[in-house]
């Protein structure tokens, strides 16, 4: 994990391995900030969708139990959203370094679309 001081808060950038382990242990809420179209084609199963263009940090629920980890395609949008959350006073947020591209490169499981049938299919599901 990398960290960067942002004012009085710390922005955490998690690796794929850290996110995957926390996700598997049900310790985090994973929020995808890509577009509806990107999410519709492929996404991490169970991740919530909150596109950056509609995102409002102050509308997120409290963080009493789980840390929120954001991800996007490459890590740029999720970093911006995480910083917005820190500026809004939240302190238990992080983002996935390298985004969904890094997740796929690490061969982590996700849902994609079978182009032959149009049905969802699990990719890299061990």
The architecture that CATH gives domain 2-123 is 3-Layer(aba) Sandwich (3.40)
pTM more than 0.85: yes
Give the pLDDT score at 26.
93
Contacts 24+ apart (CB under 8 A), 111-117: 111/42, 111/43, 111/44, 111/45, 112/41, 112/42, 113/40, 113/41, 113/42
Q: pLDDT 10s digit of each residue in the chain, 126 long?
A: 888 877 788 899 999 999 999 999 999 999 999 999 999 999 999 999 999 998 888 777 666 678 899 999 999 999 999 999 998 888 889 999 999 999 999 999 999 999 899 899 999 876
For residues 94 and 29, give the distance between their C-alpha atoms in angstroms, rounded to a whole number.
10
Q: Where are the domains of the chain?
A: 2-123
For residues 38 and 93, give the distance between their C-alpha atoms in angstroms, rounded to a whole number.
22
Q: What's the half-sphere exposure (Cβ side, CA atoms, 13 Å) at 76? A: 2
Give the pLDDT score at 126.
61
For residues 59 and 67, give the distance between their C-alpha atoms in angstroms, rounded to a whole number.
16
Query: Residue 105 has which token pair?
Result: 């490169």
């Amino acid at each position: 994990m990398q960290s960067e001081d942002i004012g009085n808060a710390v922005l955490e950038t998690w690796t794929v391995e850290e996110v995957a382990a926390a996700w598997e242990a049900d310790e985090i809420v994973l929020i995808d900030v890509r577009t509806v179209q990107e999410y519709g084609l492929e996404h991490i199963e169970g991740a919530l969708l909150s596109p950056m263009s509609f995102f409002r940090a102050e509308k997120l629920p409290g963080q009493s139990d789980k840390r929120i980890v954001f991800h996007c395609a490459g890590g740029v949008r999720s970093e911006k959203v995480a910083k917005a959350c820190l500026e809004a006073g939240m302190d238990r947020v992080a983002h996935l370094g390298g985004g969904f591209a890094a997740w796929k490169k690490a061969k982590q499981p996700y849902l994609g679309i079978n182009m032959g049938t149009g049905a969802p299919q699990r990719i890299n599901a061990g």
